[in-house]
């Protein structure tokens, strides 16, 4: 069933949960590209405002909401028990899935929409870009720690929520299909971007080959480690809670590291239109590398460490390929807010790839240091 506008069934979804107080309002929230996210304001008996995150899962993207929510509940229950054993505050350091009135993990509305609720983790900030280098360092430690905490999680119990999610070679193949079909007649106007992808075909196989040869291990990874998928403590600046767990699956540690670098090791928005402002920042690269290695380095093999720059470059290339593919296919995957939005996003990614290539030796030297 095609998804209707989320607002159409919002009231129904709100009624699917007992928020423990009066619902005062619900507004669109966040900058995610996939799900429909709302912040719900409630007032409890004491008169305090209590907030929740209500999300309609994008079931075009995540076609098995039951498997998806089982993953999230499994992972967050596991994290909660470890955090509590270590004397941490599990209500702030991991997400908690709030059950529906019927005790389910999500509420299905009459249009087939699937809605879930998390308590809002208060006293935190969610950054869209790095303002101070320490923030990036803190996010590295938090994502590294996340991977460490899940090292003992039974990966065989996880559902693959999106098949071949970071199979860069397959992303290239899908791009070629979109190019050949060219359903919107857009290919002729983006030949530079297309050529950029075609010139990088061999790169798309580098990590996949190592994985298939058994040289890189599969680990339980997050797979979407953007800076805005982490909540930082407002008071201390520490990265405390990793969110957006839809893509927690077996994957490569290099991709988690790489996706953070892609998004955060620069000073621009992902959709910046002025490419002169889009520059890969080696200092930020170094600070993230330091934090990630401190938190997760002990668990990494020497080959994983050696290939960290490849993780950064390939996640950036792959993301650019995905934006361009979506542009060619008519913008049906990522949420877009203006004409050419996916194309703008694709261009920033390719500019960053070029910058990384120009700084390749320096990146490798930095990685060797840690
Ligand atoms: P998407 O998959 O669309 O990116 P996210 O799960 O990342 O959706 O949520 C979108 C935004 O909502 C996040 O970037 C963050 O700002 C906010 N958010 C999500 N969950 C919480 C939470 N439990 N507490 C506070 N803010 C949250
Ligand atoms: C999407 O959901 P969000 O906005 O955190 C996408 C990522 C991309 C990212 C690019 C499930 O992440 O893979 O890297 O946009 N998530 C999915 O910003 O496709
Ligand atoms: Mg997100």
State the pTM of this model. Answer: 0.96
Specify if 146 maps to a domain: yes
Q: How confident is the model at residue 326 (pLDDT cuts 50, 70, 90)?
A: very high
pLDDT tens-digit profile of 166-195? 999 999 999 999 999 999 999 999 999 999
Q: Is the distance from CB of 15 to CB of 108 less than 8 angstroms?
A: no
Q: Tokens representing 69?
A: 């929510």
Q: Say what the pLDDT of residue 293 is.
A: 95
Specify if 1 maps to a domain: no
Which CATH number do you get for residue 71?
A: 3.30.200.20
User: Which of 254, 255, 268, 262 shows the shortest CA–CA distance to 226?
Assistant: 262
Domain extent for 312:
133-369
Which CATH number do you get for residue 184?
A: 3.90.1200.10
Specify if 127 maps to a domain: no
How far away, in angstroms, is 181 Cα from ligand 3 center? Answer: 30
User: Which of 357, 344, 311, 318 shows the shortest CA–CA distance to 172?
Assistant: 318
Specify if 126 maps to a domain: no
Task: Choose the final residue of a domain: 121, 141, 163.
Answer: 121
Domains contained in the chain, number:
2
Nearest alpha carbon, ligand 1 atom 6 = 244
Q: Are residues 289 and 359 in the same domain?
A: yes
Q: Are residues 289 and 217 in the same domain?
A: yes
How far away, in angstroms, is 319 Cα from ligand 2 center? Answer: 9
Ligand 1 atom index nearest CA of 34: 3
Q: Are residues 345 and 268 in the same domain?
A: yes
Q: Are residues 153 and 50 in the same domain?
A: no
Specify if 98 maps to a domain: yes
Q: Are residues 229 and 298 in the same domain?
A: yes
Choose which residue among 29, 30, 31, 34 to substitute to test ligand 2 binding: the one with the highest number of ligand atoms within 8 A of its C-beta.
34
pLDDT tens-digit profile of 97-121? 999 999 999 999 999 999 999 999 9
């Amino acid at each position: 069933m095609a998804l209707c506008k989320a607002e159409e069934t919002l009231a129904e979804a709100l009624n699917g949960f007992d928020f423990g107080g009066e619902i005062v309002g619900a507004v669109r929230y966040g900058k995610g590209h996939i799900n429909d996210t709302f912040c719900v304001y409630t007032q409890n008996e004491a008169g305090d405002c209590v907030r929740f995150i209500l999300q309609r899962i994008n079931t075009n993207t995540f076609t098995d909401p039951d498997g998806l929510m089982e993953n999230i509940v499994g992972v967050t229950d596991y994290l909660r028990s470890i955090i509590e054993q270590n004397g941490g505050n599990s209500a702030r350091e991991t997400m908690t899935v709030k059950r529906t009135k019927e005790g389910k993990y999500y509420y299905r509305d009459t249009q087939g929409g699937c809605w879930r609720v998390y308590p809002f983790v208060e006293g935190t900030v969610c950054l869209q870009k790095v303002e101070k280098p320490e923030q990036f360092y803190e996010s590295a430690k938090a994502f590294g720690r996340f991977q460490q905490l899940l090292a003992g999680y039974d990966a065989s119990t996880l559902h693959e929520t999106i098949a071949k999610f970071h199979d860069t070679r397959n992303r290239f193949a899908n791009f070629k299909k979109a190019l050949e079909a060219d359903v919107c007649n857009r290919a002729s106007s983006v030949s530079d971007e297309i050529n950029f992808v075609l010139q990088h075909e061999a790169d798309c196989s580098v990590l996949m080959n190592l994985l298939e040869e058994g040289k890189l291990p599969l680990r339980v990874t997050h797979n979407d480690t953007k800076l805005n998928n982490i909540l930082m403590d407002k008071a201390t600046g520490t990265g405390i809670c990793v969110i957006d767990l839809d893509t927690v699956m077996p994957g490569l540690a290099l991709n988690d590291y790489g996706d953070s670098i892609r998004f955060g090791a620069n000073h621009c928005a992902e959709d910046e239109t002025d490419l002169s402002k889009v520059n890969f920042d080696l200092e930020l690269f170094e600070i993230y590398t330091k934090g990630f290695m401190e938190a997760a380095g002990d668990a990494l093999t020497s080959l994983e460490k050696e290939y960290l720059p490849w993780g950064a470059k390939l996640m950036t290339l792959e993301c650019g390929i995905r934006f361009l593919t979506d542009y060619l296919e008519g913008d049906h995957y990522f949420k877009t807010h203006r004409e050419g939005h996916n194309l703008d996003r694709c261009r920033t990614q390719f500019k960053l790839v070029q910058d990384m290539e120009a700084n390749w030796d320096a990146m490798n030297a930095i990685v060797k240091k840690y």
